[in-house]
Amino acid sequence: MTGEKARNDLPLLLGLFAINVFWGGSFIANAIALESVGPIEIASLRFFIAAPLLAIVTLLWKGPSIFRVETKDLLTLVAMAITGVTLQYAIQVTAQSFTTAINASLLINTSTFFILFLSALFLAEKLTASRVIGAFIGFGGVALLVSGGTLGFSLGQIGDLMIILCALLWAAYSILGKKIAGKYHPLTILNWVFILGTIGLVPLYFLTPHADPATIPLSAWGAILFLALLCSIVAYLIYNVALETMDASRVALFIYLVPLATIVLAWLILGERLNLASAFGGLLVLAGMWIAERKIS
């Protein structure tokens, strides 16, 4: 890499660092908002703010033609919206009522392993030795995390199991997205997913208890605005710009910052701690992800 190239990439690299810290912080924001607001309400308000703002920014940046899609792709976009927004965040925030921010952040990244196997099953992608080995190591880490090191399981781990379900939903979202990824601009897909996913959250919002927005404490509103503005609008915009100008594999490396950011922020803000077995489990999850992405046949 030339010095000029490195300087040109530096703003995006700093942006990628920042947004992955934001995504790590999203689990902290959920925990703070959950102290006074219901989980469905948090997920809904996040996208009630984020979806229209993203649409406005995209319209001003790219123009109205960016929203055009073929009718035959609408069903795929609906499925992506349900798996990637409606169910994803409704279940994820609910799960954090039953588990720690640290566990949630580590376990959500098991989507990497589900994507590997679903890609082999539905997209005929090759399962390499490194991917299989990485998956076994990673799921060993999951077992330690979910069980707290005992390798015994009960309904007491319901929050962790719900996060694993979210990881599976995200994998389904990713596989669906690969079907149309090369056909449209990333922001076209993202806007449709946000809008349709938000529509899916509307009935959940009205069918579950929710407070008058005027009565929500400032701490909860701050957390929700952080989720909507920084974790959704700013993060996705920087992510998509990075994908347009950098190799996807290089962009993907920054995902390892997410659980690290969550661990540090949960310790500083929430006072959460990792026991030795769970810490080892988290390291196994990250090690499994790293090995699975190596180019070993």
What is the C-alpha radius of gyration for the chain, rounded to an integer number of angstroms?
Answer: 19
- Tens digits of residue pLDDT in 181-221: 778 988 999 999 999 999 999 999 999 988 899 999 999 99
133 occurs within a structural domain: no
Q: Any residues with CB less than 8 A from the CB of 198 and at least 6 apart, and which?
A: 44, 47, 48, 50, 51, 85
Of residues 94 and 147, more confidence is placed in: 94
Whether 83 is covered by a domain: the verdict is yes
Is residue 288, in this structure, part of any structural domain at all? no
The mean pLDDT value of the chain amounts to 84
Least confident stretch, 114-118, 144-148, 211-215 = 144-148
Residue 203 contacts by C-beta under 8 Å, 6 or more apart in sequence? none
* Residue 256 half-sphere exposure toward CB, CA atoms < 13 A: 14
Confidence check: pLDDT of 275 > 90: no
pLDDT digits (tens, 9 = 90+) for 128-142: 777 777 777 777 776
Domain span at residue 202? 13-123+151-269
Tell me phi and psi for residue 271, to 5 degrees.
75, 20
The model carries a pTM of: 0.82
pLDDT in tens, 69-88: 999 999 999 999 999 999 99
Residue 29: which residues within 8 A CB-CB, separation 6 or more? 223, 224, 226, 227, 231
What percentage of the chain reaches a pLDDT higher than 70? Answer: 84
Within-domain flag for 4? no
H runs (alpha helix) in the chain: 3-33, 39-62, 74-81, 87-95, 101-108, 111-122, 129-147, 158-180, 186-207, 218-225, 235-245, 248-252, 257-265, 276-292
CA distance 243 to 254: 12
Given this model, what pLDDT does residue 297 score? 40
Q: Number of folded domains in the chain?
A: 1
Beta carbons within 10 angstroms of residue 10's beta carbon: 10
AA letter at 180: I
In a domain, 281, yes or no: no
| Model confidence pLDDT, tens digit, residues 24-63 | 899 999 999 999 999 999 999 999 999 999 999 999 989 9
The answer to the question of residue 7 being in a domain is no
Domain assignment present for 40 = yes
Beta-carbon contacts of residue 34 (< 8 Å; ≥ 6 apart): 42, 93, 96, 97
Please tell me the predicted confidence (pLDDT) of residue 88.
Answer: 94
What pLDDT is stored for residue 69 in this prediction? 96
Binned at pLDDT 50, 70 and 90, residue 293 comes out as low
Give the pLDDT of residue 274: 67
Q: What is the mean pLDDT of residues 154-182?
A: 84
Answer whether residue 74 is part of any domain: yes
Per-residue pLDDT at 177? 84
The answer to whether 100 touches 266, Cβ cutoff 8 Å, is: yes
